[in-house]
């Protein structure tokens, strides 16, 4: 089946259709929000001028959620996921308003970091809830196709949102860094509000979980969450396939994150004048747009090849494709190499992610699936923080190191070789993965 016919087939399912509305609006807002944050943190010539400063920015934004997230994410298995989406997007709308106020008042940078941290934390929570609820709105035989189409459409929506955010920064009457950021952030707040409105189209119980906890004190819930997360780790490890899929996803995100940090610096320092933030942001927006092409190709091609490749084989192939894309940056830092690598590596990362999502969903029971995707988010964040730290230590100030880019090619191939030997069939599930 083609991408269009697959989408038409899934669109007949009301639950999938409504979840798509929420995801597209939510992630479109994410793209606008990320452009606003980039303008405020990474393209201001007075801040984040070195790899070390960018690494610190990523650590501040992601590390606290990596610590706090495990004690919040398991609530996906306890609370109605539809309510999480409704309230979460409203919370993000309020937080964006807070960031706009802080920018207008010229507040200290650390207050912006804290508010942005809270907004990004809610975002990861929402994505985990949507992913955990997806198997409840599509037939089992359509799950891989849905994983190819919905998250990838969401990623493309984020890229389109980023492009819109980039355009409004050029149209913003205030050419200061705060003005550039405020224009994109204002658009993101509107998208978050629309996403929350779209959530009311979804039935309250449609996304699960099957047996949510209705009355339990929050303190009592938090007390049990650490134990439950540990149980979930043991469950995934016992099942083998989802545990190893999370590992390969983290490896891909680590490699992709190093290229992402390098792309920010190359856009600032190599491709133009770093003292003109609007031009640097525009160049990086173009890189993001080319990455969106790669994400879109992954959505189109992954379902086409699902009959020819097993999920594990597809992940191995995507890792090899990622090595080929990374090799372009090992050759040159010219625009053709950066944009080509953005397309090819993004295709590889997204294609592998689609298969990883399906393995985790397929081989994890519903009452532990939310915790599985909380661990997914933890691995994602740890990998991205690690990539920022590695980039800060190894990248020069202009972001381009041919030996490092070549080393990433080798690592891609090593990960592919290791995962090619991973088991394809999950082990029997433990008797009870829940502590409740």
User: What pLDDT is stored for residue 73 in this prediction?
Assistant: 56
| Least reliable range by pLDDT among 110-114, 293-297, 414-418 | 110-114
Please give the radius of gyration of the chain, using alpha carbons only, rounded to the nearest integer: 21
392 versus 254: which is more confidently predicted? 254
For residues 203-225, give the mean pLDDT.
71
Q: Mind listing the pLDDT tens digit for each residue in 101-138?
A: 988 888 887 788 778 878 877 887 788 789 888 999 99
Q: Which residues contact 253 (CB under 8 A, 6 or more apart)?
A: 349, 379, 380, 383, 384, 387
Residue 430 DSSP class? P
Which domain does 56 fall in, by range?
3-209+217-419
Q: Which residues contact 147 (CB under 8 A, 6 or more apart)?
A: 134, 354, 357, 358, 361
User: In the predicted model, is pLDDT for residue 70 greater than 70?
Assistant: no
Does residue 428 lie in a domain region? Answer: no
User: In the predicted model, is pLDDT for residue 66 greater than 70?
Assistant: no
Q: Mind listing the pLDDT tens digit for each residue in 324-354?
A: 999 999 999 888 999 999 999 999 999 999 9
| Residue spans of alpha helices (H) in 42-80 | 51-68
User: What pLDDT is stored for residue 436 in this prediction?
Assistant: 44
Instruction: Show the tokens assigned to 384.
Output: 């991205």
User: What pLDDT is stored for residue 34 in this prediction?
Assistant: 80
Does residue 427 lie in a domain region? Answer: no
Q: How far apart are CA 289 and CA 311, in angstroms?
A: 27
Does residue 431 lie in a domain region? Answer: no
User: What pLDDT is stored for residue 82 in this prediction?
Assistant: 93
User: What pLDDT is stored for residue 391 in this prediction?
Assistant: 83
176 versus 319: which is more confidently predicted? 319
User: What pLDDT is stored for residue 435 in this prediction?
Assistant: 44
DSSP, residue by residue, 175-235: -SHHHHHHHHHHHHHHHHHHHHHHHTTS-TTTT--SS---S--HHHHHHHHHHHHHHHHHH
Q: What are phi and psi of 118, to 5 degrees?
A: -60, -40
Mean pLDDT rounded to a whole number for the chain: 83
- Note the pTM of the prediction, 2 decimals: 0.69
Q: Which residues contact 288 (CB under 8 A, 6 or more apart)?
A: 31, 159, 162, 163, 342
Classify each residue of 339-363 as buried b or exposed e, where b means 16 or more C-beta atoms within 10 Å of its C-beta.
bbbbbbbbbbbbbbbbbbbbbbbbb
For residues 166-175, give the mean pLDDT.
67
Does residue 83 lie in a domain region? Answer: yes
Does residue 435 lie in a domain region? Answer: no
- How far from chain centre, in Å, is Cα 386? 15
Query: What is the CATH classification number for the domain harbouring 409?
Result: 1.20.1250.20
User: What pLDDT is stored for residue 276 in this prediction?
Assistant: 59
User: What pLDDT is stored for residue 45 in this prediction?
Assistant: 47
Does residue 430 lie in a domain region? Answer: no
| Least reliable range by pLDDT among 65-79, 247-261, 300-314, 322-336 | 65-79
Does residue 376 lie in a domain region? Answer: yes
Q: Mind listing the pLDDT tens digit for each residue in 231-289?
A: 889 999 999 999 999 999 999 999 998 998 888 788 776 665 555 555 666 677 788 78
Instruction: Show the tokens assigned to 407.
Output: 């080393």
Q: What are phi and psi of 190, to 5 degrees?
A: -60, -45
305 versus 40: which is more confidently predicted? 305
Q: Mind listing the pLDDT tens digit for each residue in 3-34?
A: 788 888 999 999 999 999 999 999 999 989 98
Residue for token pair 């009355």: 215
User: What pLDDT is stored for residue 335 in this prediction?
Assistant: 87
User: In the predicted model, is pLDDT for residue 306 greater than 50?
Assistant: yes
Structural domain tally of the chain? 1
Q: How far apart are the first and last CA of the chain?
A: 42
| Least reliable range by pLDDT among 323-337, 365-379, 415-429 | 365-379
436 versus 56: which is more confidently predicted? 56
271 versus 411: which is more confidently predicted? 411
User: In the predicted model, is pLDDT for residue 53 greater than 90?
Assistant: no
Does residue 112 lie in a domain region? Answer: yes
Torsional sign, CA 61, 64, 66, 68: negative
Q: How confident is the model at residue 173 (pLDDT cuts 50, 70, 90)?
A: low
């Amino acid at each position: 089946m083609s991408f269009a016919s697959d989408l038409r087939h899934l669109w007949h399912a009301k639950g999938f259709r409504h979840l798509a509305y929420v995801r597209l609006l939510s992630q479109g807002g994410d793209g606008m929000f990320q452009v606003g944050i980039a303008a405020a943190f990474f393209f201001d010539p007075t801040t984040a001028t070195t790899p070390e400063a960018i690494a610190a920015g990523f650590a501040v934004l992601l590390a606290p959620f990596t610590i706090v997230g495990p004690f919040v994410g398991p609530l996906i298995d306890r609370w109605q996921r539809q309510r999480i989406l409704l309230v979460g997007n409203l919370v993000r709308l309020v937080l964006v308003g807070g960031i706009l106020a802080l920018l207008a008042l010229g507040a200290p940078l650390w207050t912006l970091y804290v508010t942005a941290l809270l907004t990004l934390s809610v975002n990861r929570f929402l994505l985990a809830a949507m992913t955990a609820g997806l198997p409840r709105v599509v037939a089992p035989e359509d799950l891989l196709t849905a994983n190819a189409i919905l998250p990838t459409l969401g990623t493309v929506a984020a890229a389109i949102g980023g492009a819109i955010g980039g355009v409004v920064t050029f149209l913003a009457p205030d050419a200061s860094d705060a003005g550039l950021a405020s224009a994109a952030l204002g658009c993101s707040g509107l998208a978050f509000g629309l996403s929350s409105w779209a959530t009311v189209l979804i039935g309250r119980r449609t996304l699960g979980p099957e047996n949510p906890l209705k009355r339990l004190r929050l303190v009592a819930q938090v007390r049990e969450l650490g134990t439950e997360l540990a149980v979930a780790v043991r469950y995934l490890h016992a099942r083998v396939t989802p545990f190893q899929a999370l590992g390969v996803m983290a490896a891909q995100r680590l490699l992709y994150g190093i290229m992402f940090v390098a792309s920010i610096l190359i856009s600032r320092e190599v491709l133009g004048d770093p003292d003109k933030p609007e031009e640097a942001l525009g160049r990086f927006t173009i890189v993001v747009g080319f990455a969106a092409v790669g994400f879109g190709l992954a959505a189109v091609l992954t379902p086409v090849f699902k009959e020819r490749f097993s999920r594990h084989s597809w992940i191995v192939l995507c890792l090899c494709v990622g090595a080929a894309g990374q090799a372009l940056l090992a050759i040159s830092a010219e625009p053709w190499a950066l944009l080509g690598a953005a397309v090819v590596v993004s295709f590889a990362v997204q294609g592998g992610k689609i298969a990883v999502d399906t393995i985790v969903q397929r081989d994890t029971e519903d009452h532990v699936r939310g915790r599985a995707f909380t661990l997914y988010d933890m691995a994602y964040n740890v990998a991205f923080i690690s990539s920022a730290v590695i980039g800060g230590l190894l990248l020069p100030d202009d972001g381009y190191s041919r030996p490092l880019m070549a080393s990433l090619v080798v690592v891609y191939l090593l990960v592919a070789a290791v995962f090619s030997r991973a088991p394809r069939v999950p082990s029997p599930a433990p008797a009870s993965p829940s502590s409740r």
